[in-house]
């Protein structure tokens, strides 16, 4: 029995765990190694107003502009105003941010600039900010006696009072598969928190690690949580193009520090698409690259920062430089081939400013949540900020609610009496591959109604097949992920069909213009209606 069960060990989950009182028993689940997740691979940094030349209002306006008329201004203001405190907290935790020395021997945080930002406001740890944040917070958590960390534990489903026959819908914990022991455990908790990250692995090409299969979003939907704006999947414009460069992101900051996008003949093309050129928001840059690739029949474009001194590149982008070298490219002397790849889930489970979902005692934070911060397009480096701010917000809310008593309900053990071990596991691999391929082809950067309907029809057949498989065979980690991935794919398709306009990350050839009547109108899917 735990006071708080946190599903996910990234920046959001660890921030919450470390912010809770030491007299509360906290369980943190990671379905792989504890540090593995999207936070670890985040390169650019975390945005906040830390420079005297910058302002809260400027950060708010930049976020609203990037969000293309769908940001919730109250949420944007809440997150931005809490940004400096979030950075200070990370600094106190010991995150080794890159600093600049003053003449008097003191130092301040070095700030970089990324697409969509009108000022330098991105604090970073060289070009491996996520790694620095994740490892620092994880080491802190390992030294807290009240925090128990579980590696290789993947949540299957939440346990709710409604599922046990009550009228109310309160979360009691979760059934969890221990992947090493291959046994299902019951984790009972007063409060449960989804901090499991996004769902970019639903696409064939992605910058995300393999675990980004939308588990928390699917689990929340199945117990009655609404989701919103799932059509807004962000494609990062610049992933290294190489057959063996799996998930090799080239940070936004390369363009922020002067990198230029070029065609194979060396010509720039971004000024033709937006006056901000390479510093335009990600949706514009990704769509421009996609258009150039399709128009010219080329496999990639090129990112060029070779006009900068090599020492500058090694100082600012040591890890990106080394990774490019590993695949035979020297970014100090030549342009690097890049393509867009699925990167961030801007929609998710609907929450308020306290992280509450539609299910009592169930919270959601981080990339799995829809808070209204990102709107139709997430601005660079606002995501880690959201993780820290809402990790603290949920902590405060749980402390305020205190340790409420659990209802006197007996939770049955996981029942495997009517299932067998599968002798057809190849089906999982085939279905997984099929989902990711048709999502890339039909629900990618540029969409049409016909493509979306095609994807929906195939998805409904696959969901039926997967449900039947799930009902008859013992759960495995791969089956759990496939079940979740396919459900989230269906939610993305439903949301995309619902939005009959082009806005931000959602671009459809059938409705190429933005409809002003849909300003501030979210695409909400209610599980009760489906």
Which of the residues are catalytic? 282
Neighbours of 142 (CB within 10 A): 10
Q: How far apart are CA 99 and CA 110, in angstroms?
A: 5
Nearest Cα neighbor of 133 from 396, 390, 388, 313 is 388
Q: How far apart are CA 276 and CA 127, in angstroms?
A: 23
Angle between helices 426-442 and 477-498 (to 10 degrees): 20
Contact 434, 466 (CB under 8 A): no
What are residue 306's phi and psi, to 5 degrees?
A: -70, -10
H/E stretch holding 399 reads: helix 382-401
Q: How far apart are CA 251 and CA 254, in angstroms?
A: 6
Q: How far apart are CA 364 and CA 143, in angstroms?
A: 25
From the number of C-beta atoms within 10 Å of its C-beta (0-12, 13-18, 19+), residue 179 rates as: middle
Contact 485, 213 (CB under 8 A): yes
Contact 442, 454 (CB under 8 A): yes
Q: Helix (H, G, I), strand (E, B), or coil: what is residue 240?
A: strand
DSSP 144-171: -TTEEEETTEEEEEEEETTTTT-SS-BE
């Amino acid at each position: 029995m735990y006071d708080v069960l946190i599903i996910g060990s990234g920046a959001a989950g660890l921030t919450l765990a470390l912010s809770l009182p030491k007299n509360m028993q906290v369980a943190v689940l990671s379905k792989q190694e504890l540090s593995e997740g999207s936070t670890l691979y985040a390169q650019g940094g975390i945005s906040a107003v830390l420079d005297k030349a910058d302002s809260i209002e400027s950060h708010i306006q930049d976020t609203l502009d990037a969000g293309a008329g769908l940001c919730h201004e109250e949420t944007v203001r809440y997150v931005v105003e809490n940004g400096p405190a979030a950075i200070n907290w990370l600094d106190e935790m010991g995150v080794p941010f890159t600093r600049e020395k003053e003449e008097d021997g003191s130092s301040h945080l070095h700030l970089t600039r990324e697409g969509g930002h009108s000022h330098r406001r991105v604090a970073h740890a060289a070009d491996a900010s996520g790694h620095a944040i994740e490892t620092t917070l994880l080491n802190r958590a390992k030294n807290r006696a009240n925090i128990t960390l579980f590696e290789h534990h993947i949540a299957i489903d939440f346990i709710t009072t409604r599922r046990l026959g009550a009228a109310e819908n309160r979360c009691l914990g979760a059934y969890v598969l221990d992947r090493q022991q291959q046994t299902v455990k019951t984790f009972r908790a007063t409060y449960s928190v989804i901090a499991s990250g996004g769902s970019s692995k639903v696409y064939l090409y992605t910058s995300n690690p393999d675990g980004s299969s939308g588990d928390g979003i699917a689990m929340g939907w199945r117990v009655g949580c609404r989701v919103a704006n799932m059509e807004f999947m962000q494609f990062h414009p610049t992933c290294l193009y190489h057959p063996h460069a799996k998930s090799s992101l080239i940070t936004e900051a390369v363009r922020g520090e002067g990198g230029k996008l070029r065609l194979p003949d060396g010509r720039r093309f971004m000024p033709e698409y937006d006056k901000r050129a390479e510093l335009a928001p990600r949706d514009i840059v990704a769509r421009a690259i996609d258009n150039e690739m399709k128009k010219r029949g080329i496999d990639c474009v090129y990112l060029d920062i070779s006009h900068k001194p090599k020492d500058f590149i090694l100082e600012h982008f040591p890890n990106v430089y080394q990774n490019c070298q590993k695949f035979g490219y020297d970014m100090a002397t030549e342009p690097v081939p890049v393509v867009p790849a699925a990167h961030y889930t801007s929609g998710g489970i609907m929450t308020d400013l306290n992280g509450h979902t539609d299910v009592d005692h169930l919270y959601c934070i981080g990339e799995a949540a829809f808070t209204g911060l990102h709107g139709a397009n997430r601005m660079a480096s606002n995501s880690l900020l959201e993780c820290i701010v809402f990790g603290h917000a949920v902590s405060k809310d749980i402390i305020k609610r205190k340790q409420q008593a659990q209802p006197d309900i007996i939770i049955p053990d996981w029942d495997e009496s009517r299932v067998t071990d599968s002798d057809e596991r190849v089906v999982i691999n085939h279905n997984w591959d099929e989902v990711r391929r048709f999502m890339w082809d039909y629900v990618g950067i540029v969409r049409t109604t016909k493509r979306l309907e095609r994807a929906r029809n195939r998805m409904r057949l696959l969901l039926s097949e997967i449900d039947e498989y799930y009902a008859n065979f013992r759960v495995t980690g791969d089956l759990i992920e496939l079940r979740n991935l396919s459900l989230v794919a269906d939610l993305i398709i439903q949301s995309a069909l619902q939005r009959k306009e082009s806005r931000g990350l959602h671009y459809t050839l059938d409705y190429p213009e933005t409809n002003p009547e849909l300003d501030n109108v979210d695409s909400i899917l209610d599980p009760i209606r489906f």
